[in-house]
């Protein structure tokens, strides 16, 4: 998920098992696991919504390895989600699901600071049915893209499709591939980053590599090496907030144009507009929720990223589809 501040967990029951060597307070553990502030985690504990192996504990309690933490996240206060007439690029659709090519600058669902103008507002504006089990404001949403990330996003229209596709996502039967340009050069053509991600304890608007965070794994394949940057294909094994951006920053190669994680310098040199980073969900493969047949969709680089890639390359890339030219869609990579 890979924009704005992390928006916290969905309402409902969340459970996890304490791993060996963690040894931190319950409030800090819940905070890192659920992308919550420490104050919000402490409030859930004080209200009896957090249990350790079925029992209530204080925020200062230090859970032992193997203990199961259960957190019952209540739904947010009712707030009407408006249907808005916002243009959308729908690249595939049937009675069960649809796929949107989300533009950069659009938030996926309403949250503090972005109650209108989101993808969910636009979907509601189409006047169609959407899966409701995700909760108000998250109707149909299976996964998210950061605000300034563009590309393909899968939406469920029925509750049955939401459940089925959610299982497929958890079972890694949905393949999401991202085109990304990072500053500098990876140490090899293939790099896997397997580091836990959680809210940054020093800045709740950021995510960070945190030992007590959620497991996160990303594979990177270098497709092209330019003077100052690499063109990569990123494959998510997990879907943590800002995962690709945090993982690349953690190895010293932040995403081009990413002001939050250190890649914003030199933006003008590569012709990137303000508040835009080079991250695009270009390839989506998923099993149909009713027939099981494979659906494969591609999204070419938007014009702003196409211009930036030309600038990084130092010359216009005269290819109908630069991603195809550099092997982005090859199944053997």
Q: What's the pLDDT tens digit per position in 94-103?
A: 999 999 999 9
| 269 Rama class: left (phi>0) / alpha (psi -120 to 50) / beta | alpha
- Predicted TM-score (pTM) of the model is 0.83
Kindly name the residue from 27, 35, 146, 230 that is annotated as catalytic.
Answer: 146
% of the chain at pLDDT higher than 90: 75
**Phi and psi, residue 276, nearest 5°:** -140, 130
Which residues on neighbouring strands pair with residue 283, listed in sequence order? 177, 298
Residue 5 pLDDT > 50? no
> CA-to-CA distance for 327 and 179, rounded, in angstroms?
11
Identify the pLDDT of residue 297. Answer: 98
Identify the pLDDT of residue 245. Answer: 98
DSSP conformation class of 305: H
- How crowded is the C-beta side of 218, counted as CA atoms within 13 Å? 29
Residues 6+ apart with CB under 8 A from 62: 23, 24, 25, 26
In the block, which residue shows the tokens 């294909």? 233
Query: How does residue 2 score in pLDDT terms, banded at 50, 70 and 90?
Result: low
Identify the pLDDT of residue 78. Answer: 65
Average pLDDT of span 39-45: 92
Q: Is the model more confident about 112 or about 53?
A: 53
Identify the pLDDT of residue 38. Answer: 85
Identify the pLDDT of residue 161. Answer: 96
Q: Tell me the pLDDT tens digit for each residue of 146-188.
A: 999 999 999 999 999 999 999 999 999 999 999 999 999 999 9
Residue 75 pLDDT > 60? yes
> CA-to-CA distance for 324 and 303, rounded, in angstroms?
16
**Phi and psi, residue 27, nearest 5°:** -65, -40
Domains 90-170 and 175-325 equal at CATH topology level = yes
CA geometry: angle 21, 25, 26, nearest 5 deg: 105
Q: Is the model more confident about 138 or about 22?
A: 138
Residue 137 pLDDT > 80? yes
| Of 42-56, 129-143, 230-244, the least confident | 129-143
Residues 6+ apart with CB under 8 A from 197: 207, 208, 209, 210, 213, 214, 216, 240, 241, 242, 243, 246, 247
Q: Give the E-state strand segments of 196-269 in sequence order.
A: 197-200, 203-209, 217-225, 229-236
Residue in 147, 125, 152, 215 with CA at minimum distance from that of residue 2: 147
Residue in 286, 189, 167 with CA at minimum distance from that of residue 233: 189
- CATH number for the region 90-170 comes to 3.30.2350.10
> CA-to-CA distance for 35 and 200, rounded, in angstroms?
9
94 catalytic, yes or no?
Answer: no
Question: What ranges do the domains of the chain cover?
Answer: 12-73, 90-170, 175-325
> CA-to-CA distance for 50 and 105, rounded, in angstroms?
35
Name the CATH superfamily for 175-325.
Pseudouridine synthase (3.30.2350.10)
Residue 205 pLDDT > 90? no
| Topology, domain 12-73 | 3.10.290
Beta strands 279-287 and 294-298, pairing class: antiparallel
Angle, in degrees to the nearest 10, between helices 26-34 and 38-46: 120
> CA-to-CA distance for 282 and 78, rounded, in angstroms?
35
**Phi and psi, residue 10, nearest 5°:** -75, 150
Q: Tell me the pLDDT tens digit for each residue of 206-228.
A: 999 998 888 999 999 999 999 99
- Mind giving me the DSSP string for 55-103? B---TT--PPTTPEEEEEEPPPPP-----------EEEE-SSEEEEEEP
Residue 223 near residue 233, CB atoms below 8 Å: yes
């Amino acid at each position: 998920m890979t924009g704005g501040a992390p928006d916290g967990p969905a309402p409902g029951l969340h459970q996890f098992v304490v791993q060996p060597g963690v040894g931190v307070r319950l409030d800090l553990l819940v905070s890192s696991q659920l992308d919550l502030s420490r104050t919000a985690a402490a409030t859930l504990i004080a209200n009896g919504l957090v249990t350790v192996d079925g029992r209530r504990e204080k925020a200062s309690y230090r859970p032992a390895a193997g203990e199961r933490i259960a957190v019952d996240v209540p739904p947010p206060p009712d707030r009407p989600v408006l249907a808005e007439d916002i243009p959308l690029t729908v690249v595939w659709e049937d009675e069960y699901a649809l796929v949107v090519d989300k533009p950069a600058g659009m938030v996926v669902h309403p949250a503090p600071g972005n109650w209108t103008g989101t993808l969910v507002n636009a979907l509601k504006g189409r006047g169609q049915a959407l899966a409701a089990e995700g909760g108000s404001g998250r109707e149909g949403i299976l996964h998210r893209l950061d605000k300034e990330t563009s590309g393909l996003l899968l939406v469920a229209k029925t509750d049955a499709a939401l459940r089925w596709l959610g299982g497929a996502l958890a079972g890694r039967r949905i393949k999401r591939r991202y085109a990304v340009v990072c500053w500098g050069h990876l140490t090899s053509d293939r790099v896997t980053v397997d580091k836990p991600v959680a809210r940054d304890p020093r800045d709740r608007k950021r995510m960070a590599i945190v030992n007590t965070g959620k497991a996160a794994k990303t594979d990177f394949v270098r497709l092209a090496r330019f003077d100052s940057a690499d063109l990569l294909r990123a494959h998510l094994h997990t879907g943590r907030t800002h995962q690709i951006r945090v993982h690349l920053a953690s190895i010293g190669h932040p995403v081009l144009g990413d002001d939050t994680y250190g890649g914003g310098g030199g933006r003008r040199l590569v012709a990137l507009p303000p508040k835009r980073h080079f991250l695009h969900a270009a390839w989506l493969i998923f099993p149909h929720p009713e027939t099981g047949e494979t659906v494969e969709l591609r999204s070419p680089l938007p014009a702003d990223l196409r211009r930036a890639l030309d600038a990084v390359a130092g010359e216009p890339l005269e290819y109908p589809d630069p991603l195809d030219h550099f092997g982005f869609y090859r199944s053997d990579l």
